[in-house]
Amino acid sequence: MNDSERIQIRALGRRVLRRFAAHKAGFALSLLTVVVSTGLGISGPLFLRVIVDEAVPQRDRELLMWMCLGMLAVGIAQSGFFYLQSRLTNSIGLGVVHGLRVDVYERVQSMPITFHAGRSGAEVQTRLASDIGGISDVITFTAQHALGAMTMVITIGTAMLILSWPVAVVAIGLTLGLVIMNQHYAERQRLLAVEAQEHTSEMMRLTGEHLSLPGVLMGRTLRCWDGQRDRFRASSSAIADLTIRERSMATSAESIIGVSFAAIPPVVYWMAGGGFTSLSIGTAIVLVVLQLQLAQPIQALLGLSTSVRRSLAHFDRIFEYIDLGPTAALPAPRNPHTGAQVPAVGITLREVSYRYPESGRSTLRGIDLEFPAGSTTIIVGPTGSGKSTLGYLVAGLLEPGAGTIRVSGGDEKPSETVLLVPQEPGIFNASFRDNLLLARPGATEAELREVLSRLALDDLVSSFPEGLDTSVGERGYQLSGGERQRLGLARALLSDAPVVVLDEVTSALDWATARTVQAALEELRGNRTTVVISHRLSGVKDTDRVVVLAEGLVAENGTHGELRTTPGRYSDLLRMRDEDLSEAGTTP
Ligand SMILES: Nc1ncnc2c1ncn2[C@@H]1O[C@H](COP(=O)(O)OP(=O)(O)OP(=O)(O)O)[C@@H](O)[C@H]1O
């Protein structure tokens, strides 16, 4: 073990121990049971010695009976302590593991949106499942096993020294040799484990990407499924290969340790026979039994150092997430029983600029905009001009790099006032009902049905035998893109957010459905402030406000009535839309 590893293990040890602080009393009790049951463990052979050396040769029945009863009582007491110890160890250790898991989840959940944009869900899953799984045993059993094993080594070593120091010296010398040899194997095992863990993460990432619906579709339509399969195969085969090498390494170490321990009984018997020092038969048997008992804690201690070192890579990956920062302030949870009264509030942006952390240039620059309470604003502009980024900023999902975003008419923050409906709404693998209730947990059956009917989803829902309780499948993939978008809009209709940002929410709808949805959106507006990011430009009214973004700047800003008759970007957009529609024989 090198210096940096030692420092790393110490620092990790301190962090992990702090997590046991909440379970101090239980932890101390569990360690006490370990010491007591270990102490009891070595008294068995001492009873045996009296039986062999005194009770049997002297035919002393009473002594024999007491010694046998003593052995039995020790066995029963040991089992009781073992049960208690195992209950305590598991509940404390798994409590600490649970705490780590929740910390990772909470930290990732509160990271800024930009963190999630640059990461696959599979990566977070790997940390929660594979890495936490990898440290679970180390956290649960290390302290107890280490203490138990050390107590056994000390007590057995002392007993052997008292019984016969030459045999004890041989056993201790052998132990030191084994420790040195084991270090060598453990280091090689650790390197193989780190490599295997990297391949496991890669394999889980590939599985998440390739075996999700988009991945399967890509594999089939681009006909690259064989390449996908090859990459998976290579990753899986590397894991198998590394694991075989790692296990062979462990088995070699165990075999050498086993052979070394097997050599001791003949030595003891040779000594007992007068080869070096003469021992009674009982002492010789007890020494052999104790030596066999010594093998187990020594192997446990050697195994512990290996598993602690192997778990370092897992610990690193877990604490890397727990130490992530800075986090975004999460909005206060919604009151489940509101939903009827929507207050009128507006949003004001002053000199707002934003640059993504990984980007070399600002996506938005010096944006001055007013979204008055109850108004409807359409945001248009070429692709990549910053429309969605503006939507994220208004919804408080991104913090502006410069400038301010304020809610007028209320003390709340944008993140507590604004609901963003993205183009691909987050539909969960749950029923229609559960997906809708996320927006208003207290909504009645009648309210849910009314919303579905307004968005022309009622026929779809009724076509399933289980109606509202039908599961919509992983990410809503049992629904069409347009149905998913309408389900997202249904949530917006149910929510009590006074400001709603709709980001391309009708892009997957045909014109006829888009009109139905448009009518529902008219009702959604009410006295809500609505910001609509749209390429489609359907159903825009003269009084609606229009903001044209170009290269991160506000290029035009006025009402639809004003801008449509003024030569400029917006009137050009309307002209292009009308030409497209007349070619397709449709009217906006
Ligand atoms: N997470 C991110 N990290 C770095 N750059 C990003 C990120 N998200 C978006 N961008 C960049 O910011 C710019 C604006 O993106 P945005 O999605 O806001 O544009 P948009 O106008 O909504 O485009 P579209 O009409 O295609 O949806 C683009 O150049 C995009 O590449």
Please write the tens of the pLDDT for every residue from 90-101.
Answer: 888 888 899 999
What percent of the chain shows pLDDT beyond 90?
20
The CA distance from 347 to 367, in Å, is 13
Dist. CA 358 → ligand 1 center (Å): 12
Q: Which residue lies with its CA nearest to atom 9 of ligand 1? A: 389
The CA distance from 529 to 418, in Å, is 9
Mean pLDDT across 331-346: 68
Closest ligand 1 atom to 535 CA: 25
Mean pLDDT across 515-530: 76
Q: Which residue lies with its CA nearest to atom 18 of ligand 1? A: 386
Closest ligand 1 atom to 381 CA: 21
Substitution site in 387, 503, 532 for ligand 1 pocket (most atoms within 8 Å of beta carbon):
387
What is the model's pLDDT at position 335? 62
Q: Which residue lies with its CA nearest to atom 17 of ligand 1? A: 388
Dist. CA 500 → ligand 1 center (Å): 20
Dist. CA 121 → ligand 1 center (Å): 20
The CA distance from 544 to 541, in Å, is 5
Substitution site in 361, 388, 534 for ligand 1 pocket (most atoms within 8 Å of beta carbon):
388
Residues 122, 208 contacting (CB under 8 angstroms): yes
Dist. CA 385 → ligand 1 center (Å): 7
Dist. CA 390 → ligand 1 center (Å): 10
Helix (H), strand (E), coil (C) string for 480-547? CHHHHHHHHHHHHHHCCCCEEEEECCCCCCCHHHHHHHHHHHHHHHCCCEEEEECCCCCCCCCCCEEE
What is the model's pLDDT at position 368? 94
Q: Is the dihedral of CA 115, 121, 125, 127 positive or negative?
A: negative
The CA distance from 266 to 116, in Å, is 64
Task: Mean pLDDT check: name the lowest of 21-30, 268-277, 566-575.
Answer: 268-277
Model pLDDT for residues 56-86, shown as the tens digit of each residue: 889 899 999 999 999 899 889 988 988 888 8
The CA distance from 290 to 201, in Å, is 44
Residue scoring higher pLDDT (521 or 560) = 560
The CA distance from 510 to 486, in Å, is 12
Task: Return the structure tokens found at 68.
Answer: 């046998």
Would you say residue 272 has pLDDT above 80? no
Q: Which residue lies with its CA nearest to atom 30 of ligand 1? A: 384
- To 5 degrees, how large is the angle CA 525–CA 530–CA 536? 100
Average confidence score pLDDT of the chain: 83
Dist. CA 389 → ligand 1 center (Å): 6
User: What confidence category does residue 427 fall into, taking pLDDT thresholds of 50, 70 and 90?
Assistant: confident
Closest ligand 1 atom to 392 CA: 18
Would you say residue 3 has pLDDT above 80? no
Ligand 1 in reach of 119 Cβ (< 6 A): no
Dist. CA 499 → ligand 1 center (Å): 22
The CA distance from 519 to 510, in Å, is 14
User: What confidence category does residue 370 fall into, taking pLDDT thresholds of 50, 70 and 90?
Assistant: very high
What is the model's pLDDT at position 389? 95
Ligand 1 in reach of 2 Cβ (< 6 A): no
Mean pLDDT across 363-373: 93
Mean pLDDT across 510-524: 73
Q: Which residue lies with its CA nearest to atom 26 of ligand 1? A: 383
Q: Considering only CA atoms, which of 82, 135, 152, 133 is closest in space to residue 299? A: 152
Ligand 1 in reach of 361 Cβ (< 6 A): no
Task: Mean pLDDT check: name the lowest of 20-29, 144-153, 339-348.
Answer: 339-348
Dist. CA 388 → ligand 1 center (Å): 7
Residues 353, 365 contacting (CB under 8 angstroms): yes
Substitution site in 353, 358, 389 for ligand 1 pocket (most atoms within 8 Å of beta carbon):
389
What is the model's pLDDT at position 369? 94
Q: Which residue lies with its CA nearest to atom 28 of ligand 1? A: 384
Ligand 1 in reach of 383 Cβ (< 6 A): yes
Helices marked H in 164-224 = 165-210, 213-221
Task: Return the structure tokens found at 411.
Answer: 């003390």
Could you tell me if residue 126 is left (phi over 0), alpha (psi between -120 and 50 degrees) or otherwise beta?
A: alpha
Ligand 1 in reach of 58 Cβ (< 6 A): no
Most confidently modeled range among 71-85, 213-227, 228-242, 500-514:
228-242
What is the model's pLDDT at position 471? 85
Domains and CATH numbers, the chain: 8-188+255-322 (1.20.1560.10), 346-584 (3.40.50.300)
55 contact partners, CB below 8 Å, separation of at least 6: 61, 63, 64, 67
What is the model's pLDDT at position 391? 95
What is the model's pLDDT at position 587? 55
The CA distance from 555 to 560, in Å, is 14
Residue scoring higher pLDDT (255 or 143) = 255
Q: Is the dihedral of CA 554, 556, 557, 559 positive or negative?
A: negative
Q: Is 40 helix (H, G, I), strand (E, B) or coil?
A: helix
Dist. CA 367 → ligand 1 center (Å): 16
Closest ligand 1 atom to 117 CA: 1
Ligand 1 in reach of 37 Cβ (< 6 A): no
What is the model's pLDDT at position 338? 54
Q: Which residue lies with its CA nearest to atom 25 of ligand 1? A: 383
Would you say residue 87 has pLDDT above 70? yes
Q: Considering only CA atoms, which of 388, 281, 393, 374 is closest in space to residue 328? A: 393
What is the model's pLDDT at position 547? 94
What is the model's pLDDT at position 409? 67
Mean pLDDT across 514-535: 79
User: What confidence category does residue 366 fall into, taking pLDDT thresholds of 50, 70 and 90?
Assistant: very high
Model pLDDT for residues 375-425, shown as the tens digit of each residue: 999 999 998 999 999 999 999 989 999 999 999 866 778 888 899 988 888
Ligand 1 in reach of 388 Cβ (< 6 A): yes
Would you say residue 426 has pLDDT above 80? yes
Most confidently modeled range among 62-71, 183-192, 269-278, 310-319:
62-71
Residue scoring higher pLDDT (31 or 55) = 55
**ipTM exceeding 0.95?**
yes
What is the model's pLDDT at position 433? 92
Model pLDDT for residues 232-262, shown as the tens digit of each residue: 999 999 999 999 998 898 888 778 777 776 7
Would you say residue 551 has pLDDT above 70? yes
What is the model's pLDDT at position 395? 92
CB atoms within 10 A of CB 127: 20
Q: Which residue lies with its CA nearest to atom 27 of ligand 1? A: 383
What is the model's pLDDT at position 540? 78
Substitution site in 116, 356, 379, 380 for ligand 1 pocket (most atoms within 8 Å of beta carbon):
356
Would you say residue 339 has pLDDT above 70? no
Closest ligand 1 atom to 504 CA: 27
233 contact partners, CB below 8 Å, separation of at least 6: none
User: What confidence category does residue 38 fall into, taking pLDDT thresholds of 50, 70 and 90?
Assistant: confident
Instruction: List strand residue ranges (DSSP E) for 389-511, in order.
Output: 402-408, 418-421, 499-503
What is the model's pLDDT at position 497? 85
Closest ligand 1 atom to 359 CA: 4
What percent of the chain shows pLDDT beyond 70?
93
Q: Considering only CA atoms, which of 348, 362, 377, 352 is closest in space to residue 552? A: 362
Ligand 1 in reach of 363 Cβ (< 6 A): yes
Dist. CA 386 → ligand 1 center (Å): 6
